[in-house]
Amino acid sequence: MAEDDVQRSDAHGWSLEGRVALVTGAAGGLGKAIVAELHERGAVVHGADIAGEGVFNADLSTASGNREMVAHVLSTAGRLDILVLNARCQFVSPLDQFPDAEWDRLRAVMLVGPFFALKAAWSALTKTPGGRVVVTASVASYGGARQKVACTAAKHGALGLVRVAALEGAVHGLTINAVAPGWMDTALMRGQLEAQAANRGVSIDEVVALFRAAQPGNRFVDVREVAAVIGFLASPCASGINGTCIPVDLGASASA
């Protein structure tokens, strides 16, 4: 059988039995749902986060934190097949008052860290065809959002990382994709709602109503809706999807 036929013969099935996965931001709202989804599909799942129990604790804004995380999984599990880059932090402020340190921190967690994680995991992910990387992007990967200059710039950059890695990974049967969630009611979102309410001088309930109304269906996206798409992208049947970003935003990106 020719090599490409061998790869295509794997291109079916939803099961992640026998696969080892690593999820960053695993103690967060979406991270927990991703861990559950991949586990349900049969993968052995390792989580990493700067805080939280039952996960590998590391500061993933640094090169060393990302290298140690990958080394830990490889020494524990002996392999790594699926990498989900999902950690994030947020800071909201008008651009002219945006603290330099927050600009650095947000970019480090959401763009620089994922680069180091991918680089550290590359040889394990490309050892055999079928490796998978999924990056949590955002609606902020496509458009500007007032008071979120660092997050918006980092999330735009993350798509550049995904595209280049996808082109270079394809020859190894590795796929790299992103998902772009709309607003989800997680801890991170709650902090942001409070900051937006203070900055706009309105109540949290009013800000919640504004965020909900910005999404078709007038609701938040459920973290399980996003995790399900990540689970699909991580599965064998998604082998033909590479270098793209799938919105999970209830249709928000469909409006002009």
Q: Which residue has the tokens 């099961």?
A: 15
Copy the structure tokens of residue 109. 């967690």
Q: Residue 223 region, left (φ>0) first, then alpha (ψ -120 to 50), else beta?
A: alpha
Paired sense of beta strands 82-85 and 20-24, if any: parallel
Candidate ranges 36-44, 48-56, 126-134, 161-169; the one touching ligand NAD (CB under 6 A): 48-56
Tally the C-alpha atoms within 13 A of residue 88's C-alpha that lie toward its C-beta: 27
In the stretch 19-38, what mask flags binding to ligand NAD with x, by CB under 6 A?
------x-xxxxx-------
- Taking CB atoms, the residue at the shortest distance from ligand NAD is 28
184 lies in the binding site for ligand NAD (CB under 6 A): yes
Closest by CA to 135, choosing from 15, 251, 22, 28, is 22
CB of 254 to ligand NAD, least distance (A): 17
Q: Does 61 bind ligand NAD (CB under 6 A)?
A: yes
* CA–CA distances in Å: residue 84 to residues 32, 124, 191, 195: 12, 14, 23, 28
Beta carbon of residue 235, minimum distance to ligand NAD (angstroms, whole number): 20
Applying CB under 6 A, which part among 46-54, 124-132, 164-172, 229-237 lies near ligand NAD?
46-54
Out of 20, 87, 165, 176, the residue judged to bind ligand NAD by CB under 6 A: 87
Q: Which residues bind ligand NAD (CB under 6 A)?
A: 25, 27-31, 49-51, 59-61, 86-89, 109, 136, 138-139, 181, 183-184, 186-189
